[in-house]
Copies of this chain bind each other. A is one copy, B any other.
Amino acid sequence: MTFQHPFDQAIALTPTAEGEYTGSTSPAYANMVGPFGGVTAAVALNAVLQHPALLGEPVALTVNFCAALADGVFTATARPARTNRSTQHWVVELAQGGSVVMTATALTAARRETWSLDDGPMPAVPQPDALADTVSLPQVEWVRRYQTRFIEGGIPTNWDGGGASSQTRLWMRDAAPRSLDFCSVAALADVFIPRVWVRRATRVPVGTVSMTVYFHAGAAPLTELNHSWVLGQARAQAFRNGFFDQTAQLWSEGGHLLATSHQVVYFKE
């Protein structure tokens, strides 16, 4: 019996036909209701990556959280809607009991050597070794699957309505060693705690409804990074009429931008 990382267990899919799979939510990534959304996003991406017609590597992924997943089995379908010479467009759906619980689109492409530039440096922050582990939400199971070291904008210690900034910066990585790859980056993009909690120091019900990840690093550089830390930065731009946005960046320890991500989140009150 070989050890399987809990993340690989959580995103595992069993093919039932070309582009059709079954999977199951993982208790190791349980959220307050249903599983951690970052893992569900990774499952949608994995349905593309497991497809025999796959061309290239992920460049963009958009997932839409249509409903909270129930604990248990789900089906996934991935369809290459358009295949070009060097790019491929995917449509993905996850369903439970015949009802759609996630829609997604993805772009995969052949990466080429070109002129390259990160437009702006990684923020100057303390190195992970200089910081202590923080478990942001001890009562939530999936949070324990990540090692997190907050620099700013962690879970408020006083829920007193006194928040002043929506920005969070933290170092993060899988708690159990696992090399970085596209699926784990997609999940890391959703590790940030809700912006509205940080900005307001007020705990209101929230739920991500749509998330996009742009992958700036290819498969080889991610593999080379192995289990190293990722610096995450997230902030909101607007809270309005029950929804807020989050714009986020993920850098390698060496300061390379690995991914940028955006999401829009429902909030109550």
A-side interface residues toward B, CB under 8 Å? Answer: 59-60, 62, 64, 66-67, 81-82, 84, 87, 89, 91, 93, 99-101, 103-105, 107, 109, 111-120, 166, 195, 199-200, 209-210, 212, 214, 216-218, 235-243, 245, 247, 249, 257, 260, 262, 264, 266-269
Contacts and interface: CB of A to CB of B under 8 A. Distances in A.
14 contacts: A66-B84, A81-B93, A82-B103, A91-B93, A91-B103, A111-B242, A114-B239, A114-B240, A114-B268, A117-B199, A117-B240, A119-B166, A119-B235, A214-B245
Contact of A247 (B99, B199, B241, B260): B260
A235 B117 CA distance: 13
Contacts of A166: 119
A119 B240 contact: no
A194 B100 CA distance: 36
Contacts of A105: 62, 64, 103-105, 210
Nearest to A88: B66
Contact of A209 (B60, B91, B242): B60
Given A62-B210, A260-B262, 4 more contacts: A64-B107, A116-B241, A214-B264, A237-B257
Interface of A is mostly: strand
Q: Which of A91, A166, A267 has the most CB of B within 10 A?
A: A91
A115 B269 contact: yes
Contacts of A118: 237-240
A199 B117 CA distance: 10
Contacts of A64: 60, 89, 105, 107
A111 B244 CA distance: 12
A120 B237 contact: yes
A166 B268 CA distance: 36
A260 B245 contact: yes
Q: Which of A112, A241, A262 has the most CB of B within 10 A?
A: A241
B210 A107 contact: yes
Nearest to A91: B103
A5 B265 CA distance: 34
A260 B237 CA distance: 8
Given A100-B81, A105-B103, A114-B267, A59 B239 contact: no
A266 to B, nearest CB: 7
Nearest to A87: B209
A93 B105 CA distance: 11
Given A103-B91, A262-B262, A264-B60, A238 B216 contact: yes
